[in-house]
């Protein structure tokens, strides 16, 4: 019986998770002290009281990127990496669980 692409992905993910647990690898999230200094951003977005659109989100991200320093190739590369990481984190924490819920509700492919 051939292995379907999504089965291969799930096996790899489970194997990687097991590997990471054994090695005690943790996600390098921002430590609590630095996070406290950045919480004003989330509070400000909540205080605005609007339903953000994709355009609003892009604006906020672009505004934050504008303040990255120094303005050189390394910083630009770091920004692109941070954006890619944010995309993957959004998929892992938000999109994938939603897709799993819909698979349970409606059946798999």
DSSP per-residue codes, 72-107: SHHHHHHHHHHHHHHHHHHIIIIIHHHHHHHHHHH-
How many folded domains does the chain comprise? 2
Within a domain: 1: no
Is the same domain home to 78 and 105? yes
Same domain assignment for residues 74 and 100 = yes
Inform me whether the pLDDT recorded for 75 exceeds 80.
yes
Residues 81 and 104 in one domain: yes
Task: Evaluate if residue 70 carries a pLDDT over 50.
Answer: yes
Same domain? 51 vs 75:
no
Over residues 88-109, mean pLDDT:
95
Confidence tier at 12 by pLDDT (50, 70, 90): very low
Q: Which residues constitute the domain of residue 96?
A: 70-109
Evaluate if residue 33 carries a pLDDT over 80. yes
> Contact, 65 vs 79, CB < 8 A?
yes
Claim to verify: residue 106 and residue 74 sit in the same structural domain: yes
Clarify whether residues 61 and 74 are in a common domain.
Answer: no
Composition of the chain by helix, strand, coil, percent to 5: 75, 0, 25
Assess if residue 63 is contained within a domain.
yes
Residue 26 within a domain: no
Task: Answer whether residue 60 is part of any domain.
Answer: yes
43 occurs within a structural domain: yes
Spatial CB neighbours of 60, under 8 Å, sequence gap ≥ 6: 45, 52
DSSP tag of 9: H
Looking at 7-11, 84-88, 96-100, which range is the least confident one? Answer: 7-11
Average pLDDT rounded to a whole number, residues 22-38:
73
Contact 68, 79 (CB under 8 A): yes
Mean pLDDT of 34-46: 87
The pLDDT value given to residue 34: 87
Peptide bond into 74 cis (omega under 30): no
pTM of the full structure? 0.66
């Amino acid at each position: 019986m051939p292995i379907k692409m999504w089965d291969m992905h799930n096996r790899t993910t489970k194997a990687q998770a097991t590997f990471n647990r054994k090695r005690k690898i943790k996600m390098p999230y921002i430590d609590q002290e630095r996070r406290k200094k950045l919480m004003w951003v989330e509070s400000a977005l909540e205080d605005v009281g609007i339903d953000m659109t994709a355009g609003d989100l892009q604006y906020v991200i672009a505004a934050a990127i504008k303040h990255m320093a120094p303005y050189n190739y390394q910083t630009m590369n770091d920004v692109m990496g941070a954006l890619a990481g944010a995309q993957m984190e959004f998929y892992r924490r938000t999109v994938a669980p939603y897709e799993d819920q819909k698979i349970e509700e409606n059946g798999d492919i």
